Chains A and B, each alone.
Chain A
Amino acid sequence: MKNETLLTHFGKGLIQNNPVFVQVLGMCPTLAVTTSAVNGLAMGAATTFVLFFSAAIATLVNVIVPSQVRIPVYAVIIATFVTIADLILKAFFPPLSAALGPYVPLIVVNCMILGRIEAFATRNPFLPSLADALGMGAGFTAALMILGAVRELLGAGEIFGAVILGSAYPPMLIMILPPGAFLVLGILMALFNHLQEKDLPILRKAG
């Protein structure tokens, strides 16, 4: 029974409360770095790393932090993990670090992270908080990767750098430019909400 609740906490971030398609949080990285599937995946992974460890620490220190200074305390904790994530990317994945550029340090101000800590991690026990953080991170990563894959496919004819559409397809450059981010996000969001309204059994089970 206990595992099932953890699974529920994990699952709601994926579908029912997806941070991008439902909560519309963290729009800056969502729109800016999803020019390719691999960039979306890397940004999602870095954000999940930060969210997971920040939520873990936040639930533990929650009892000793006076509520007046909780925001600065959480901001410092988040900033610490963001800097570590940035250093890890620079040390082990230099090409990805170059592609994501300034958007890795900007994870600090991703409102999804502070939002989940405020709304969930500080009001719930340790394990459900971790499950929630992982679920939200996974939902965010999946959304960014799908967005990146669609834009890469339409804008460059490739997915994860592998040529899919070939030279017969003239790439729609606009898709990997900023306007393409809005177009694809809008269409995906509409599609996602349409599917959710239909109340498909798969979605209900996962949610």
Chain B
Amino acid sequence: MKKMIIVLTTVAIISGTTLAIAYSAFLPLIQHNQQVALERSLGALFEQGESPEFSEIETEGPTIYRARVEGQVIGYAVRVVTTGYGGEIRLLVGIGPNLERITGMEVVEHVETPGLGGKIDEPSFKEQFEGLQPQQDIAYVKGGDTQAKENSIEAISGATISTDAVVSGINKTLDSALPALTDRAGEGEE
């Protein structure tokens, strides 16, 4: 009885110590990787020659980053978290400085089925969001004619759930992000 307790406790202590050491050894690298992934996605949102600097804006709603080049605000990046077919999808939407157009969409993290919903991370899908109106809900059409609906993208065939998750996630997040941004939109032009 006593031996059981001693052995289990010792094993647990050694294991805990090992993990604490391993965790603190790898943590800087892991955080660095996450930061790199986030910055890469943020940078891809805007078509500026120089890479903009990003700073987080405090809001009660979604996380928003302000993008600046030499002090001039060139746009905003809004973080969107939505639930797709395989689990959480995290993405970023870039909006122009006057909230007049969407400048880009980047998927940061997703677990959608490769070859189907996984196509949300392909350029052909992401580029469709460029130039859409952020003020108005985005729609999606199946099988082709995006002229049929205003402010729409073409859904990925066979992956309506993933498409819908992305589109409705963006719509919902922008609904709460835009009012928070409207007050600040002019700040860059000072």
Residues of chain A touching chain B, judged by Cβ–Cβ distance below 8 Å, are: 35-36, 61, 64-66, 68-69, 72-73, 76-77, 79-80, 83-84, 87-88, 90-92, 94, 98, 101, 155-156, 171, 173, 176-177
- Could you give, for residues 24-58 of chain B, a 1 whenever the CB lies within 8 Å of some chain A CB and a 0 otherwise? 00100110010001000000000000000000000
Q: How many A-B residue pairs have CB under 8 A?
A: 63
Q: Smallest Cβ distance from A68 to chain B, in angstroms? A: 6
Other than the given A61-B11, A69-B4, 20 more pairs (CB < 8 A) read A35-B113, A35-B115, A64-B7, A65-B7, A66-B7, A76-B8, A76-B11, A80-B15, A80-B19, A83-B19, A84-B19, A84-B22, A88-B26, A90-B33, A92-B29, A94-B37, A101-B111, A156-B114, A173-B115, A176-B115
Residues B94-123 near A (CB distance < 8 A): 109, 111, 113-116
Instruction: Check: B69 CB closer than 8 A to any chain A CB.
Output: no
Interface SS, B side: helix
For B, the interface residue count at a CB cutoff of 8 angstroms equals: 24
Contacts of A94 in B (CB 8 A): 33, 37
Q: Is there contact, CB below 8 Å, between B115 and A83?
A: no
Docked CA distance A91–B24 (Å) = 11
The reply to whether B3 and A156 contact each other, CB–CB distance below 8 Å, is no
Q: Which residues of B are found within 8 Å of A173, using beta-carbon distances?
A: 115-116, 158
A143–B74 CA distance with the chains assembled, in angstroms: 51
B116 to chain A, nearest CB (A): 7
Q: In the complex, are the beta carbons of B7 and A73 less than 8 A apart?
A: yes
How long is the Cα–Cα vector from A171 to B8 in the complex, in angstroms? 52
